[in-house]
Amino acid sequence: MNQIDLKGRTAVVTGGAKGIGYATAERLLASGAAVSLWDLDGARLVEAQAALAGKGEVEAEILDVTDPAALARATQATLARFGAIDVLVANAGVVGVMKTTWEHTLEDWERILRLDLTGVFLTCRAVIPQMLEQGYGRIVTVSSIAGLEGNANNSAYSAAKAGIIALTKSLGKELAKRGVIVNCVTPSGIETEMLAGITQEYFDAMMAKMPIGRLGTPEEAAALIAWLASEDCSFSTGAVFDLTGGRAVY
């Protein structure tokens, strides 16, 4: 494992109790950062914090990223504990529903956009003022190849992930001269629990589009995220980084 220097930095990872979020927290700890895990699943969060405790300084905040008041409390609690938030990895989200667009209910549509897009906006809004105050920050948003290509039978998720890409580009421009770098990663098939709910047909179609011929691992995603969270990432902002095994064509 290549060493990335995050010594003295504090990172927040939303959706940090499992999958890409957990692997990212583990990699950031290995790089010397203190980490605050923010997740809605209290039981998994306790397990994750316990498992990571021996790897570095880690705390946990149970919260819903769609709740502005909860985000404000978690931000203040993390600042009280660590004194700063230098890195935000906005990873929390859900996979959505497997339906054609016209079969989506309004409830389906609004729930997925709120969890997968509005939650990222609210989390960034909660944390950015403190980054501006200190004149330094790194934000990594987790989108999806679906945000670039659009997945059939998964339009709400695709629309939300496309929104994350646009939000990242807007933030990157707004913050470019203020010491805060904002970038996005777009995973395709990563071997996490999120794949458990998809059909075999959907899985086969996904794999057929990946030239590398295999799923990615959460650790591979975490390696890219950790570099984007570091001082070494200093000239790329508002950018979209591929995590698709060669699937992405732009």
Residues with active-site annotation: 157
Identify the H or E element spanning 11. Answer: strand 10-14
CA-to-CA distance for 178 and 132, rounded, in angstroms? 7
Helix residue ranges per DSSP H, 65-178:
68-82, 106-113, 119-134, 146-149, 155-175
CB 195 within 8 A of CB 203: yes
β-bridge mates for residue 142, sequence order? 185
Length of the chain: 250
Structure tokens that stand for 33 in this block? 């950062």
CB 185 within 8 A of CB 248: no
Q: Which of 157, 177, 182, 181 is nearest to 167 (CA)?
A: 182
Q: Which long-range contacts (CB under 8 A, 24 or more apart) does 58-63 make?
A: 58/25, 58/29, 58/34, 59/34, 59/35, 60/16, 60/36, 61/36, 61/37, 63/38, 63/39
How many other β-carbons are positioned within 10 Å of the β-carbon of residue 7? 9
CA-to-CA distance for 78 and 243, rounded, in angstroms? 29
